[in-house]
Amino acid sequence: MTVTQQAPAVEIQKVAARFRSKKRDVLALENVSMDVRPGEFVSIVGPSGCGKSTLLKLVSGLLKPSAGAVRLLGGPVGGPRKDVGYVFQRAALLEWRTARRNILLQAEMRGMPQKEAAARAAELIEMTGLQGFEDALPHELSGGMQQRVALCRALLHRPPVLLMDEPFGALDALTREQMNVELHRIWHETSTTVLLVTHSIAEAVYLGNRVVVMTPRPGTIAEVIDVELPRRRNYAATMSQPAFASATSHIRDLLGAATHRE
Ligand SMILES: Nc1ncnc2c1ncn2[C@@H]1O[C@H](COP(=O)(O)OP(=O)(O)OP(=O)(O)O)[C@@H](O)[C@H]1O
Ligand SMILES: [Mg+2]
C-alpha cells in the first residue's frame, strides 16, 4: 500500500541568518532545519535574542537567509509573501480606524472583493467574540480585544500559514488563557498551519503538536518535542495530564540548561 505524503507546509533547510553592519556582526541563526506539516501547530521557545523572530521573518520572506533555504507550500519563499498571516507582539492597530476597519485593512491591502471581505470579517468577529465592538476604536478596546482584532486581521484572507510572534505577551494571565483557548479552537476549525513564538512554556505545550526548543544565540534547535496529547484539547483537562507535566518540565530543563550554560 502506498501512502501519499503531502508536501510540508514549511521547509527550513540548514538555514543561517547573519546581520552584518559596521558596528557588529551577529550570527542570529545557525544550521536550523525543520519541516512543518500542513495543519500542524508548532510552538517555538528559546532564550531572548536566539533568533525566533528572525526565523518567522525568514518564513514570511521579510528576510532572506544568509545560508540554506526556506520553502513555503512546496515552493521557494522568494520575497515577502502575501499568503501568510502574521500576528506581531503588539496588536499594531491603526488608532483612527474602528475594529472592523482595522480587520478590513488586510482586504484593502490585497484588493479582496469588498463583499467577500465583509462577510469573512463578520464571521471572524463572531468567532472571536468581538460582536458589539465592531465600531469601537482601539483605545476603547481591552488589550485582549485588540489582540483579537489583530488575529482577525491576520486570518481575513484565510492564510494557509499563520505566523505568530509572542502574540499574547502583553496580556494578563487570565486573558492570555482565554486567548489560548480561542486560538486552539480557531486552529481546530480552520486547520491552518501555525508557527507560534512564545515565552510561555505552558502556552507552547497546550497549543502545540510539537515544541521546538532553541539554544541561545546563535540559535540552533536544541530539541523538538512531540506533545503526546490529543489534537483537540480542553484547557483544564490538558493541564492535569501527565503528558502535559512531563513536556513542560522537560522544556523547562532544556531552557534552564541553556540559560546556565557558560
Ligand atoms: N534587522 C536586524 N539587524 C541587525 N540585527 C538584527 C536584526 N534583527 C535581529 N537582529 C539580531 O539578531 C539576533 C536575534 O534577534 P531576534 O529578534 O530574532 O531574537 P528573538 O529570539 O526573537 O528574541 P526575543 O525573544 O527577545 O524577541 C539579536 O541579536 C538581534 O540583535
Ligand atoms: Mg522576538
Which tens digits make up the pLDDT trace of 209-218?
A: 999 999 999 9
Averaged pLDDT score across all residues of the chain: 92
pLDDT tens digits for range 5-38: 678 999 999 999 999 999 999 999 999 999 999 9
159 grid coordinates: 492564510
Mean pLDDT (whole number) for 51-56: 96
Assign residue 141 a region (left: φ > 0; alpha: ψ between -120 and 50; beta: otherwise): beta
107 close to 156: Cβ distance less than 8 angstroms:
yes
35 close to 212: Cβ distance less than 8 angstroms:
no
pLDDT band at 134 (very low <50, low <70, confident <90, very high): very high
Q: Which ligand is nearest to the CA of 52?
A: 1
Pairwise CA distance, residues 143 & 167, whole Å:
11
Pairwise CA distance, residues 131 & 125, whole Å:
6
Calculate how far, in angstroms, residue 237's C-alpha sits from the geometric centre of ligand 2. Answer: 30
Give the pLDDT confidence score for residue 262 in this predicted structure: 47
Task: Report the predicted TM-score, pTM, of the whole model to 2 decimal places.
Answer: 0.91
254 CB less than 6 Å from ligand 1?
no
Residues with CB under 5 A from ligand 2 (ion): 53
Question: Domains in the chain, please, with CATH?
Answer: 10-83+160-259 (3.40.50.300), 90-158 (no CATH)
Atom of ligand 1 nearest to the CA of 199: 25
57 CB less than 6 Å from ligand 1?
no
The larger pLDDT score, comparing residue 82 to residue 152, is at 152
28 CB less than 6 Å from ligand 1?
yes
Give the pLDDT confidence score for residue 258 in this predicted structure: 61
From 21, 24, 26, give the residue whose CB has the most ligand 1 atoms within 8 Å, as the site to mutate.
Answer: 26
Burial profile 197-221: b = 16 or more Cβ within 10 angstroms, e = fewer: bbebbbbbbbbbbbbbbbbbbbbbb
From 22, 25, 52, 259, give the residue whose CB has the most ligand 1 atoms within 8 Å, as the site to mutate.
Answer: 52
Mean pLDDT (whole number) for 87-104: 91
19 CB less than 6 Å from ligand 1?
yes
The larger pLDDT score, comparing residue 130 to residue 3, is at 130
